[in-house]
């Protein structure tokens, strides 16, 4: 087991606990919390504080029909799944014959795409699957990167957050392993290299566009990877 050394900021965890994160941010922070007991405990602390203030807030007068209106909207709505949001589901991957476990809420973004052989391919035999969010300013990709592969150097127009589910990678700043959530902004530029032993499967969520450098980068820019 690897220690988890890279985490979202306390501000990000607070916003997540208060329900102030968008779909993309919620997905990747929730994925990290599924592996990280430290951040999970911090979110629980913020939720408890919020619950205390709600409980002790002055009561508000609401319409007598509010409860019936709410029940009417819920009538006929079925729970999507009885499964808990822990690490319950697997992605089939050439990097691990036993599959790679991922949280159930991430798995639900993969209809008919839970096997990486069905993902798209790009340079260096890297496989990827696009995740679409309701808010178009954010994009998501699941990546399967073979061992020892170098991704072209790139920078970012906005934020880039990478959550590792299998193996790991390194760049000019450090090394990242299972459970790590790495967050970069438009001041950062790096050349990720997947682990020589295990390769890497990770979720990348980013705003704006990635700006690839060099000849291979130009190809990726043109392909809108």
Phi, psi (5° rounding) for residue 94?
Answer: -70, -15
Q: Which residues contact 68 (CB under 8 A, 6 or more apart)?
A: none
All structural domains of the chain with their residue ranges: 10-74, 89-223
Query: Could you read off the pLDDT of 67-112 as tens digits, one per residue?
Result: 777 777 777 655 555 544 444 689 999 999 999 999 999 999 998 8
User: Distance of CA 68 to CAs 61, 62, 77, 121, Å?
Assistant: 16, 12, 15, 51
Alpha carbon distance 79, 174 (integer Å): 42
- The pTM of the full predicted model, rounded to 2 decimals, is 0.79
C-beta neighbour count of 127 within 10 angstroms: 20
Domain 10-74 has CATH 1.10.10.1320: yes
Q: Are 211 and 154 in contact, with CB atoms under 8 Å apart? A: yes
Name the one residue in this structure whose structure tokens are 């089939």.
Answer: 92
Q: Are 111 and 131 in contact, with CB atoms under 8 Å apart? A: no
Query: Could you read off the pLDDT of 172-210 as tens digits, one per residue?
Result: 889 999 999 999 887 778 788 999 999 999 999 988 776
Alpha carbon distance 116, 143 (integer Å): 9
Q: In CATH, what class is 89-223?
A: mainly beta
């Amino acid at each position: 087991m690897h220690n988890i050394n890279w985490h979202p900021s306390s501000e990000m965890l607070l916003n997540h606990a208060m329900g102030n994160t968008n779909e993309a941010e919620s997905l990747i922070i929730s994925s990290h919390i599924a592996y990280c007991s430290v951040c999970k405990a911090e979110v629980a602390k913020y939720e408890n504080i919020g619950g205390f203030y709600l409980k002790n807030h002055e009561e508000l007068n609401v319409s007598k029909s509010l409860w019936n209106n709410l029940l009417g909207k819920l009538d006929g709505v079925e729970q999507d799944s009885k499964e808990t949001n822990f690490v319950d589901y697997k992605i089939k991957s050439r990097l691990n014959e036993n599959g790679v476990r991922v949280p159930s809420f991430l798995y639900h973004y993969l209809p008919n795409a839970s096997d990486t052989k069905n993902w798209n391919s790009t340079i260096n035999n890297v496989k990827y699957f696009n995740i679409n969010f309701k808010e178009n300013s954010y994009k998501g990709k699941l990546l399967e990167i073979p061992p020892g592969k170098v991704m072209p150097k790139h920078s970012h127009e906005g934020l880039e957050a990478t959550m590792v589910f299998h193996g790991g990678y390194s760049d000019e700043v450090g090394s990242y392993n299972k459970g790590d959530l790495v967050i970069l902004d438009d001041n950062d530029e790096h050349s990720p290299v997947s682990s020589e032993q295990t390769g890497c499967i990770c979720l990348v969520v980013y705003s704006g566009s990635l700006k690839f450098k060099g000849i291979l980068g130009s190809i990726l820019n043109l392909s809108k990877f």
